Structure 1
Amino acid sequence: MKILITGTAGFIGYHLAKRLLARGDQVIGLDNINDYYDQNLKYGRLADTGIARDAIKQGQLTSSTSHSNYQFIQLDLTDKQGLVDLCAEQQFDAVCNLAAQPGVRYSITHPDAYIQANIVGFLNLLEAARHHRITNFVYASSSSVYGLNQAQPFSTQHNVDHPVSLYAATKKSNELMAHTYAHLYGLNVTGLRFFTVYGPWGRPDMAPFLFTDAAFKDKPIKVFNHGKMQRDFT
């Protein structure tokens, strides 16, 4: 299969790319390599899949030096024409969208970034899939969509109409948009409500890494709500 993975400089996208490459799929990775967190970590992930930092050129495919079935392009999903051109040229069998503007607290101070990346960018990708007959569409939603839901353990059958952050609202919007495109155009869509994912090459701003770093440095772990808060790691 030929698969487009967006967000391959990111944590989950990087690991998915490695798994699919090992399986023998032909993979095109896409990322805008923004500076939400340390770009050196993002370039490090790319380098681990054979994409050298100095070889990357905006809007152009770069071939991996370690995987003959892998190419990477630095492109923003808000670049509608660039995305259309890529999909028209490559004729993908499937898309796995792991690109997004993450972060709950950051969405309070930078709302525009979330609308552009998570709404406009997502729409552009759905449109590209629709017009270029990419029938298999997998995307990252988030456990944040559960918002004020009190029922536990969480279930896909629970109401998710009460998000408590703009980030969560954009992810809920993604689910509605994907459902609509599946209904109207027959796209086979699958949304994944990730909780806090951790592992090698993980994000430095996530709880497991913050807690571990504090422990190693013999520093206190930040506790909120006077110690009465429970973490579900999302």
Structure 2
Amino acid sequence: MDALSGDGAGLAAVRLGPPSRRLWAAEGPRAVFGLVELGWRWRELAHLPRGDGRPVLILPGLFNTDRSTIVLRRSLQALGYHAEGWGLGRNLGARSTGAELERLLARVAAMAEDAGEPVTLIGISLGGIMARLAAHRAPTKVREVITIASPFAGDPRDTNVWRAFEWATGERVGDPFLAARSAEGMRPLPVPSTAIWSATDGLVNGNICRIEGERCIEVRSSHLWVQHRVSVLTAVAEVLASAR
């Protein structure tokens, strides 16, 4: 893994195109391999830096529920963090009504109040975009943001899933509301942030999952089940440990 940072405005101004068909076709087999790897390397996770009990809220990706984040949550709980799922059902995005984002902001506020401290947000794919929006709108309630394979820094058409996104959310690429929300999400955050991304992602162009000026960590992974990869679980634990 390696980290990159810089002083530029980001990568959003240039259309980079979606991942190749070769990477897209390899998503399924590589995702299965990630699960197999997790099975035989699971014990290694017990040796990661210990947590300090801070509240961590994990947001699932498009179409997914909290079931998709069980491995990540259990890994962080075993290390000593108070990790919870977002509890808002299936993630279909922050639609134009704004109701979904308001529900997320209420969830973050309630968790922060219960814990007596700001909440760390970890978002997978679309969940990471929503985590960034929440941090912009409630910076006093959010301690830091970690995104995992989240295409927040570019055009939605630089992915192989933008049509599925339109179908699931009812939003349309190019809609003024979506463009404004995307611009908000890619602005530098008022809290510490880390973007975990992969150049071999088959569903979203890895280069739109990070911006210069914010910490980023490269891993080698598919997009599907990226949150189950040992390298990702390790990166998350190390980022949390470094933010004490």
TM-score of Structure 1 vs Structure 2, range by shorter chain: 0.3 to 0.5
Higher relative contact order (CA 8 A, sep 6+): 2
- Rg larger in structure: 1
